[in-house]
Amino acid sequence: MQNYLIQKYSGENTEEILALFRVAFNKEATPEWFQWKYLYSPWGSRGYTVLDGNRAVAFYGGIRLQFTFQDKLLWAYQFCDVMTDPEYRARLISKTPFIVKLGEIFYRENPMDFAFGFPSLRHARLQSLRLGGEGNRFIQLYEKRHLKRHPVLWKLKVDEGWELLDGKELHNFSAHSRGDILRFEKDEKYIKWRYVNNPSRRYGLLVFKRLNRIRGYAIYTTEEESFHVLEIFSRNPGDVRDMLISLEWFIINTMKHITTIKAWFHPGEPLKDSLDNLGYSGKDSIPIAFKSVNADCGVNAEIFYNRFFYRMGDYDAS
């Protein structure tokens, strides 16, 4: 009988795990990116590996994140980098598929209120069948083509640069958000880890002002001819419309190659009408999945799927 070793990731075997990543996802990743993700996240990340000798053949990871719901602090893990070498998908540990065994260990050893992620449909089904997941939904991707300069009446002043980020303002924006939504707490420490210190790609910060007062922030990246809105923070929900209008002005004036804006917005958000009026079109994108761990935390599948107003930057691969 083959003896496999299950190991908690703490920095070792990184190259072997990245070789598995390459096989599983047909993508390249660097040791710096993997260690940034699993060794340096603000609230801790966890990962578990199955080793066959010196070969990593399965991995199950998660990033620990902070949420608030009805003024209650909650802890969640975003499961990610869930992968098995195709040659090993039919093999078992104690009569259990590798990835299921790693998932069982992950949820047993790491206290949390719930878990969520953006899995493939195959992994979403596996999560539901074997690891207690509660179905999945599809993210709504909104796209705006044919950018234009809207009436100046609604335009905000837009400045760019990470040095303009004010942690206190960011906190104030969160403090004014609705208590009945499931809020992903993104403080200055998280933002700097996620975007400023991320070694895999570059991100930009835009600051929107009216009468020299900050009305909101947007974090973005670009990909070929597309501008991706990864985060959008506003003083009031109504400011988002003016921010999107001003964003078009900014892109037209400074990024001549950009033809499309892309963003994730939950269809239950109040700004849905504004998106329609501004010419954004929505469509299904990748799956999002939820797993309840602490049934007493107050968040169930219905609340998660209906009241978590996700953003594109919540996806760890964005």
Mean pLDDT value of segment 214-220 = 96
42 pLDDT above the threshold of 50: yes
Note whether 160 and 281 are same-domain residues.
Answer: yes
**Distance (Å, rounded) from C-alpha 272 to C-alpha 280?**
9
Note whether 34 and 82 are same-domain residues.
Answer: yes
Note whether 149 and 269 are same-domain residues.
Answer: yes
Q: What is the largest CA-CA distance in the chain?
A: 73
Mean pLDDT value of segment 126-148 = 92
Of 63, 93, 112, which closes a domain?
A: 112
Residue 95 resides in a domain: yes
Note whether 253 and 168 are same-domain residues.
Answer: yes
Give the residue among 147, 199, 148, 191 at the shortest CA–CA distance from 169.
191
Neighbouring residues of 188: CB distance < 8 A, sequence distance ≥ 6: 165, 167, 170, 171
Per-residue confidence (pLDDT) for residue 173, from 0 to 100 = 81
Residue 103 resides in a domain: yes
Joined tokens for residue 141: 């991707």
Per-residue confidence (pLDDT) for residue 273, from 0 to 100 = 86
Per-residue confidence (pLDDT) for residue 176, from 0 to 100 = 62
Total-model pTM: 0.94
Residue 74 resides in a domain: yes
Note whether 39 and 155 are same-domain residues.
Answer: no
Note whether 145 and 80 are same-domain residues.
Answer: no
CATH classification of the domain holding 68:
3.40.630.30
Per-residue confidence (pLDDT) for residue 1, from 0 to 100 = 45
Per-residue confidence (pLDDT) for residue 175, from 0 to 100 = 64
Residue 17 resides in a domain: yes
217 pLDDT above the threshold of 50: yes
What is the extent of the structural domain holding 57? 5-112
Q: What is the phi-psi region of residue 233: left when phi exceeds 0, alpha when psi lies from -120 to 50, beta otherwise? A: beta
Note whether 151 and 84 are same-domain residues.
Answer: no
In the chain, the number of structural domains is 2
Note whether 32 and 93 are same-domain residues.
Answer: yes
State the chain's mean pLDDT as an integer.
Answer: 93
Residue 268 resides in a domain: yes
Note whether 29 and 154 are same-domain residues.
Answer: no
Note whether 173 and 86 are same-domain residues.
Answer: no
Per-residue confidence (pLDDT) for residue 155, from 0 to 100 = 83
**What digits encode the pLDDT tens for the residues 178-191?**
778 999 999 999 99
According to DSSP, residue 38 is labeled H
Residue 160 resides in a domain: yes
Q: Give the pLDDT band (50/70/90) at residue 271.
A: confident
Per-residue confidence (pLDDT) for residue 3, from 0 to 100 = 83
Mean pLDDT value of segment 216-225 = 96
Residue 154 resides in a domain: yes
Residue 132 resides in a domain: no
